[in-house]
Structure 1
């Protein structure tokens, strides 16, 4: 079964648009590789994390920042389809 990506965001922080943008970018790149993407409002203030099934890929509080789209695509690709070429979004993230 294809994995599901979940973006959990704090609605009180007004991060829904950021979550929707990231979901759009991921669906554009991985539409054939994922079952779907879920936007999940969090009850925890300040929370913003991205999971594939139950595995946390990125946690804003742990990293102290939001992921760049290029970085996020690489993280997702490395888990769901390591052979996938991301074109201009491939590697060189610092």
Structure 2
């Protein structure tokens, strides 16, 4: 998994926090989350080369619960996320 973040916008802390949350939730499923410095307002989350969240395309940052659901749906679709799952 990769998170590309804008260094000009100083989004390293946001990218690091997002990575920490994903690694904490998906301890057995994710081997790593790479933080990739970028520019131009980028904040893209990719899984196996597929962009699952793009700040520019979705017009904002992902809600963490939504991002966890997107990741779960791809790597562990039968897994419950507990209170994070919306009914």
Report the TM-score, using the length of structure 1 for normalisation: 0.89
Give the corresponding residue for 2:69.
Answer: 74
Q: CA deviation at 1:37?
A: 0.5
Give the corresponding residue for 1:85.
Answer: 80
Q: Deviations over 1:34-74 (max 9, x none)?
A: 121100001x3111100002100000000111001100000
Q: CA deviation at 1:91?
A: 2.5
Runs of 4+ in 1 over 6 A off after TM superposition: none
1:15 to 11, 15, 29: 11
Give the corresponding residue for 2:24.
Answer: 28
Report the TM-score, using the length of structure 2 for normalisation: 0.96
1:41 to 33, 37, 43: 37
Q: CA deviation at 1:30?
A: 0.3
Root-mean-square deviation over aligned CA pairs? 0.9
Give the unaligned 5+ runs of structure 1. none
Q: Is the 1:74–1:91 Cα contact (8 Å) retained in structure 2?
A: no
